[in-house]
Structure formats: C-alpha cells, structure tokens
C-alpha cells in the first residue's frame, strides 16, 4: 500500500505543529511527514487522498479500559448521586461484585457483541488503539473467558487491542492467601502460556489488594515474561506508585492520592503516570495533580478508565478537556498525554504519533483547526479516522 495524504491545513504530531502538511504512507506506516510544498519527488506519483483543508491529530490511544462486562450499574450511579460512597457500595457486595455477577451470567458471544459495540463508539471518537482489561471474572475460568473475548476483539476490530489480565478484588468466599496463590501459580502461568494477555495489572488499594499481595502478583507476572502496571493511589495512599517504579511497570494509573515523592520515583525510571479524569470526577475524588506531575518530569498519560461503575465514559476528548480545566495541562500537553504518552503506557513508541516509522493511525477533524475537538465541549467535529492508513470511520 502506498498513498499520500494532502490538504492538511494544520497537523499536530503531537509534539510539533505543521501547517499545509502532507503525509506519505507505505505498508501501514508513515514514511514521510512534512510541508506539502516539500513533498519529495519519489512520492509525487503515488495515489493521493485530499483531506480537504482539514486538521489532523494522531490516533487517540486509550491505555486503560475495562470494556468487557455484563450488565450496568445505573442503580449504583443513582445511589452515589444521592450521597452513598463507592467504598460503602463495594463493601456491601455491590460495585465490582455486581458487575462480576452480571459478567458471569453472560456468554462469551454476548460479551463479545456488547464489547464490540462499545469499541465502535470509541472508534467514532478517534480511538485507534486501546487496552482492554479482564478483572470482572475473578474466578480462573471466568477470567479466561474474558480474555478469550478480548482475543477475538483483537482479531476482528479495526483498532489495535492490548489485552491485560487484571487482579481486581478477592472473590467473595475466598481466603486472601488462597486467591493470591492461585492467581500467581495457576492463572498467570496459563495466561502467559496461551498468550491471552501481554500484561498484568493489580488494583492495589483499600478494599482490593495490599501492597505485599500486589508485589507477589507482579513479581509472578514478571517471572513469566509479562509486562506490569498498577491501579495506584486512587482511594488511599498505599505505596503502589513507588512499587510500580521499583519493578519497572509500564504505568501507575489513577494517582488521586499520589505525592511529590511518588512523582519523583516515576520520573526517575520513566514509568508513565496515567490520570483517569472520569473516575476522579464521577466519584468526587480529588483530581490528579497532572500539572505538578508533568512539571516533576513524569510522562503523564490520560485514559478513559471506561467501566460500568466508576467511569462510564466514552469520550477521550472530555477526559482531555477535564485535564485541561481541572488538571492544569495545556491543550497541546493533553493531546500528547492521550496519544504519544498513552502509547508509552502500552510499551509502544510507534503509536500515538505522526512520525516516520510510526503506525499510520490518525484522526481528521471536520475543521481547519486540529485542536477544534478540545474546544467544543459536547460536540466532536470528527470527519474520518484512519488506522494503518485505512479509512475506518467516514461521514
């Protein structure tokens, strides 16, 4: 495949802004990026697509989602709106446990169809790569069922899918030590052997896993060649962020209760700090200090944390807008956080950027201004989405 894209009024790479730009794509990757007037002779005879004087940004990367689940938690959402806390609902057997029951009751095909529909909504928002976690199965076979669904999605969706095995909470009726041992000695080895996930995540927090339990699970993952990441410092400060840095995790996610010492640890080793605006706002938690983290040298990423309970969010653009308004990032920084930095949270340097050698994933705004999507709250002027240089969403 060879194609040149012209008629780009404004382009964010995201680190550089270009006007009157053009792109050359071969075999699903960018081979040239620059001013249209400087297009090298060798590309001038290639087939062309004129983008009509529109703005272009890299494909959005969503590096933290819980997209596979059964049922919904509208009732819980209404409870919280009346003042009940997330922690109290979880302790009473609701929250995550309610979704576990609904996910157990759904067949693989039902879960696949539900998730495929959600993924297409994300594609229509310009999301060209997304991580999808398990974690609503809890029991070994139910977790494997979720991962099989994610594998099928990876094989059939237009987007790039990154499966992650999540240690979410201890199932009701299990002793903690017994469950952690099973997860480390049975589930992780089976997932690594079968290739059903490339990473393991642990929810290290009040009501979930302790720091010691988290270390055991993550060390087991590393011993089987899997990458690691953590839910860290969301509800209480546990030390999970510094554990993430110590073990070389891809990312530490949430970070509402994180401290300057945590940020310094992340910055030293290059572990990404992922903020999840939807969860912070919906649960009425302190908004992560994205500006301070960025200034401390942390590679800050933004993700939707889409899930049925704490963040039923479908819009990465709203997540970026919230991080601009409440987290203190500039619009350009927020775009980088949900593209190039989010790709680093997946262990990829060839996604989330428009540069020679990167995958040719990009979104075209129905505007001459590439950042128009961050200006219009509640309306996304998206025209087309390209994955590997192929048009996947057209108006």
258 annotated as a binding-site residue: no
Domain ranges of the chain: 2-59+353-393, 62-345
237 annotated as a binding-site residue: no
15 annotated as a binding-site residue: no
Q: What CA–CA distance (Å, rounded) separates 129 from 158?
A: 9
Please give the CATH number for the structural domain made up of 62-345: 3.20.20.140
231 annotated as a binding-site residue: yes
* Domain 2-59+353-393 CATH (choose: 3.10.290.10, 2.30.40.10, 1.10.3720.10, 3.30.930.10): 2.30.40.10
pTM above 0.95, yes or no: yes
310 annotated as a binding-site residue: yes
306 annotated as a binding-site residue: no
Contact yes or no for 279/296 (Cβ under 8 A): no
Residue 87, judged by CB atoms within 10 A of its CB (0-12, 13-18, 19+), counts as middle
CA distances from 354 to 30, 34, 165, 244, 321 (A): 7, 10, 30, 29, 22
136 annotated as a binding-site residue: yes
Note the residue count of the chain.
395
48 annotated as a binding-site residue: no
pLDDT of residue 395: 43
pLDDT digits (tens, 9 = 90+) for 240-254: 999 999 999 999 999
Residues lower than pLDDT 50 in the chain: 394-395
pLDDT of residue 128: 98
34 annotated as a binding-site residue: no
Q: Exposure string (b/e) for 196-224, b if CB count within 10 Å is 16 or more?
A: bbbbbbbbbbeebbbeebbbbbbebbbee
């Amino acid at each position: 495949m060879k194609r040149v894209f012209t008629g780009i009024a404004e382009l964010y790479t995201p680190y550089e802004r270009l006007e009157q730009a053009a792109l050359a794509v071969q075999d699903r990757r960018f081979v040239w990026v620059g001013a249209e007037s400087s297009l090298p002779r060798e590309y001038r005879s290639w087939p062309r697509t004129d983008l009509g004087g529109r703005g272009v940004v890299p494909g959005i990367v969503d590096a933290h989602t819980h997209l596979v689940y059964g049922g919904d938690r509208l009732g819980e959402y209404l409870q919280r709106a009346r003042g009940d806390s997330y922690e109290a609902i979880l302790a009473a057997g609701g929250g995550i446990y309610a979704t576990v029951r609904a996910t157990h009751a759904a067949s693989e095909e039902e879960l696949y169809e539900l998730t495929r529909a959600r993924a297409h909504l994300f594609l229509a928002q310009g999301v060209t790569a997304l991580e999808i976690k398990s974690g609503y199965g809890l029991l070994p076979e139910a977790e494997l069922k979720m991962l099989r669904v994610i594998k099928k999605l990876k094989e059939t969706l237009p987007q790039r899918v990154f499966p992650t095995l999540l240690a979410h909470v201890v199932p009701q009726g299990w002793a903690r030590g017994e469950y952690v041992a099973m997860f480390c000695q049975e589930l992780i080895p089976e997932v690594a052997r079968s290739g059903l996930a490339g990473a393991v995540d642990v929810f290290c927090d009040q009501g979930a896993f302790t720091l010691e339990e988290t270390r055991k699970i993550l060390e087991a993952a590393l011993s089987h060649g899997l990458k690691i990441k953590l839910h860290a410092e969301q509800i209480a400060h546990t030390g999970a962020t510094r554990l993430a840095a110590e073990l070389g995790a891809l990312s530490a996610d949430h970070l509402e209760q994180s401290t300057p010492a945590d940020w310094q640890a992340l910055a030293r080793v290059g572990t990404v700090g992922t903020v999840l605006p939807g969860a912070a706002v919906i649960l009425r938690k302190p908004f992560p200090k994205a500006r301070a983290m960025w200034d401390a040298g942390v590679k800050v990423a933004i993700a939707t944390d889409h899930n049925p309970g704490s963040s039923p969010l479908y819009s990465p653009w709203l997540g970026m807008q919230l991080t601009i308004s409440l987290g203190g990032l500039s619009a350009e920084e927020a775009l980088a956080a949900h593209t190039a930095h989010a790709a680093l949270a997946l262990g990829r340097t060839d996604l989330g950027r428009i540069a020679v050698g990167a995958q040719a994933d990009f979104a075209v705004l129905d505007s001459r201004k590439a950042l128009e999507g961050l200006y219009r709250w509640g309306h996304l002027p998206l025209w087309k989405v390209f994955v590997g240089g192929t048009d996947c969403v057209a108006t």
